[in-house]
Amino acid sequence: MRNYLKFYIDGHWVDPVTARSIDVINPATEASAGRISVGSAEDVDRAVKAARAAFSSFSQTSVGERMALLERIIAEYKKRYADMAAAITEEMGAPVALAKDAQAAIGLAHLQTALSVLGKYSFQEQRATTLLVKEPIGVCGFITPWNWPINQIACKVTPALAVGCTMVLKPSEIAPFSAQVWTEIMHAAGVPAGVFNLVNGDGPTVGAAIASHPDIDMVSFTGSTRAGIEVARNAAQTVKRVHQELGGKSPNIILADADFKSAVTAGVRGVMGNSGQSCNAPTRMLVPNSRMAEAIAIAKTAAEATTVGDPASGAHIGPVISATQWDRIQRLINKGIEEGATVVAGGPGKPAGLETGYYVKPTVLANVNNRMTVAREEIFGPVLSILGYDTVDEAVAIGNDTPYGLAAYVSGTDPEATRKVAARLRAGQVNINSAAMDLMAPFGGFKQSGNGREWGDHAFGEFLEVKAVLGFAAQAA
C-alpha cells in the first residue's frame, strides 16, 4: 500500500492544512492501492507563496546552472526508472511493458530533450538599437491528467524549469503515484526550495485554486475540454496566460492507394494502445466505400488479435482507469449500436474471464456516419469507428467536421497526394504513414483541442515573456 499523505512545499514534505484523504484504486483489481491527502485552497496558497519567493532567485540563474540541474534530475530519474514504471502500472493499469518502454520512457525523454534544447536556445535578440529579451513568465500552475501521467508532468515541468520558472503541480488524484516518485526525484536532485511544489487534490478545489490564484502567472492544463473550459473561466479573472491540451476525435484517412493491411492494422493498434486512453488516438478511420469490406475484415482481425488482461500478464492492453470511465465507454458503445453502427469486433461488456477490473473489449464499429455520437464524442477507450467516403474531398470534409483538432492521420503510397491531404486537415499534428514519434515536434491542438504547444523548443515559448528594451544600443551616427 502506498500512503502519500504529505505535500511537497518549499523543499519539505509537509502535512496538509486539513487532514482529509482518499483511496487510490488499482483499476486491475478494483482494490485500494494506497491513499493520498486531498488539498485545499490554503495548501495551494502555501505552495504559491513558496514558488513566488523562489522565483526572484531562480529566474536569475544562468543557463549553465539550469543545465546542471536538469542533468542531476536525469541522473536521479534513471535511478528511479523501475520505481516510476511500477507506480504507473499500479495507478492506471498500464501493462508492464508499456509502463516501462513508453510511459516511464517518455518522462526521461522529455528531460533529455529539454536539456538539449536549453544548450542551444537563444534568450536574446538585438534588432537595431532594441534588445528583445525572453524572460521566464513567473510562477506556473500545472494540472495534469491520469492517462499518460508522467508524460504530461514532464512535458510541462521540464521546459518551465529550463527557462527559469517556478511552479505548483496538481497531478490527477486518480493516478498520483508517479507524481510522488517524480517529486522524490526532484528533491534528490537538489531542485532549490520553492522552485517545484506538489499539492494533491481534486479539480474543483485544488485545480480551481491554482487556476484562479492571483500570484500564479500562467496555468497549463491537460484534460477534457469540459474541464479546460472551467480552468479558463477560473483563470480569466486574473488575466493569466492559459495553456490547454484538451480532447480529440482524430480522423485517420486511408487513401485508396494505401497498403490496406498495413494501414488499417496500424490504425487499429493506434486506437487500442494504452487501452484507448490517448487524446490523439486515430479513433475515426475513413476508408473508401469501394474498399470498405476489405478494411472491415482487416480491422476485425487486428482487433481480435489485441489481447486484454492483467498488466503483468503480457497482454497488449490492461484495464481502463476507473469504473466511471468503464461505464462511459459502455454507454457510448451501446449508443453507437442504437444509432445504427455494426459491431465488427468486441462490443459491450467485459472480456471473458475478466470480471474483476475495468476491462473493455477491443471494439470496432462499422457503418458509422459522422453524425453518430460515437463519431462526435471522445470515447477514451479501445473503440474504433469506421466511416466511408467516396472522394478525397469528402474524406477531408468529414475529417475536419469535428469540434476537435488535436491530431490527424493519412496513409497512402503517393507522397504528393498524402502531403496535399495533410495540408488540408485542421489539426495541430498530422501523421503521414505511421511516422515515428518526434520529440521536437510541437504537440497541441486547433479548435476545442486547446491552445499553445508542448514538446521540444516550442514548449519553451509557453513559459517565456518577451521584453523589448528600446535604446539598448547607441544609434548609429
Distance of CA 23 to the CA centre of its chain: 23
CB atoms within 10 A of CB 294: 14
473: helix, strand or coil:
coil
pLDDT one-digit tens code per residue, 137-175 = 999 999 999 999 999 999 999 999 999 999 999 999 999
Considering the domain architecture, whether residues 310 and 229 belong to the same structural domain is answered as no
Considering the domain architecture, whether residues 110 and 221 belong to the same structural domain is answered as yes
Instruction: Determine whether 155 is an active site residue.
Output: no
pTM: 0.96
Considering the domain architecture, whether residues 59 and 131 belong to the same structural domain is answered as yes
Say whether pLDDT at 193 is over 90: yes
Q: Look up residue 53 and give its three cell numbers.
A: 519567493
CATH classification at residue 419 = 3.40.309.10
CATH classification at residue 105 = 3.40.605.10
440 falls within a domain: no
Considering the domain architecture, whether residues 83 and 209 belong to the same structural domain is answered as yes
pLDDT, mean of residues 377-402: 98
CB atoms within 10 A of CB 423: 10
Q: Look up residue 427 and give its three cell numbers.
A: 489539426
Please tell me which residue in 245, 378, 454, 462 is annotated as part of the active site.
Answer: 245
Considering the domain architecture, whether residues 68 and 157 belong to the same structural domain is answered as yes
pLDDT one-digit tens code per residue, 198-231 = 999 999 999 999 999 999 999 999 999 999 999 9
Considering the domain architecture, whether residues 460 and 396 belong to the same structural domain is answered as no
Instruction: Determine whether 165 is an active site residue.
Output: no
Q: Over pLDDT 90: what percentage of the chain?
A: 99
437 falls within a domain: no
Q: Which domain does 286 fall in, by range?
A: 251-432
Alpha helices in 130-272 (DSSP H): 149-163, 177-188, 208-212, 225-236, 260-272
For 209: left if phi > 0, alpha if psi spans -120 to 50, otherwise beta; the answer is alpha
438 falls within a domain: no
To which residue does cell 492494422 refer? Answer: 265
pLDDT of residue 200: 98
Considering the domain architecture, whether residues 234 and 299 belong to the same structural domain is answered as no
329 falls within a domain: yes
pLDDT of residue 476: 65
Please tell me which residue in 140, 155, 165, 279 is annotated as part of the active site.
Answer: 279
Question: Residues for the chain: how many in total?
Answer: 477
